[in-house]
Amino acid sequence: MESNREARLWNLAKTDPRTVVEELQPDVRSEQADPTALYLQGVAYYRLQEWPTARQLLKQAVTQKPAYPHAWYYLGLAAEQQGDVREAIAALRAAAAYRPSASLAPLVQRKLSILDPESETTAGAQLVRPRRRQSNDQARGIFTDPVAQWNVLPIALKAAMTLMGLVVISFLVFVAWSMFGPNGGLQQHRQQQEEIQEMERQQCEYAAERGIELPGC
């Protein structure tokens, strides 16, 4: 079936399914019926709530084209409407197995979670969210834990940061030693002040012995 016709009939099946049924009658009655025509005809009958006919057409569609997740999905819906939960679950599992599209997959999983909550297919889909949350928690931990931040850094960057830290520490030690060491600037300044004070004291004593008055003595 041409893609333009298929898109037109699909949209028409939502609003006027009876017209779709009438237009596709010649297509589905042929011996080599197109699976797409059978599928669209089945969807139209599903919209008309004629569940047995819808199931029959959709079964023909998946028989001719097993890898038809959309047909399997509507076959499951039609079976559910008739109370055949076992066939509905089997059809929905088949829809999930044939890699449904991004828009169909959530619908299949949602319906399976209702009809068969213990299904491995449903359980596998439900495991996605906890794993994603776990990965998000791990990512948040990396940005809040300093140890984790250090562990994820490349080895070369770790070595460069370590070397830079050693250089900074050496510089600080040098500055401290220069200022407070035996030959540091502060020590030399203190010694000069003491020498000046000693000279002033000696001058005052010398002036006092000779009866000379000096300022500050």
* CA dist 31 → 34, 64, 86 (Å): 9, 12, 30
pLDDT of amino acid 96: 93
Over the stretch 56-68, which tens digit does the pLDDT of each residue have?
999 999 999 999 9
**Residue 146 pLDDT greater than 70, yes or no:** no
pLDDT of amino acid 135: 45
Q: Which two tokens stand for residue 197?
A: 């004070």
**Residue 84 pLDDT greater than 90, yes or no:** yes
DSSP 38-85: HHHHHHHHHHTT-HHHHHHHHHHHHHH-S--HHHHHHHHHHHHHTT-H
Dist. CA 9–CA 210, nearest whole Å: 129
Fold of 3-130: 1.25.40
**Residue 136 pLDDT greater than 80, yes or no:** no
Dist. CA 196–CA 198, nearest whole Å: 5
DSSP state of 214: -
Counting residues of the chain whose pLDDT is more than 90, the rounded percentage is 34
In the block, which residue shows the tokens 């997959």? Answer: 105
* CA dist 8 → 4, 72, 122, 150 (Å): 6, 21, 33, 59
pLDDT of amino acid 34: 87
Taking Cα atoms as reference points, which of 7, 12, 35 lies closest to residue 23?
12
Taking Cα atoms as reference points, which of 131, 125, 101 lies closest to residue 111?
125
* CA dist 199 → 127, 167, 196, 206, 217 (Å): 88, 43, 5, 10, 12
- Residue ranges per domain, the chain? 3-130, 145-209
**Residue 128 pLDDT greater than 70, yes or no:** no
**Residue 88 pLDDT greater than 60, yes or no:** yes
> How high is the mean pLDDT of the chain?
76
Over the stretch 28-73, which tens digit does the pLDDT of each residue have?
787 678 898 899 999 999 999 999 999 999 999 999 999 999 999 9
Single-letter residue type at 121:
T
Over the stretch 161-217, which tens digit does the pLDDT of each residue have?
777 878 888 888 777 766 666 555 556 666 666 666 666 666 666 566 666 665 666
Of residues 204 and 21, the one with the higher pLDDT is 21
pLDDT of amino acid 214: 58
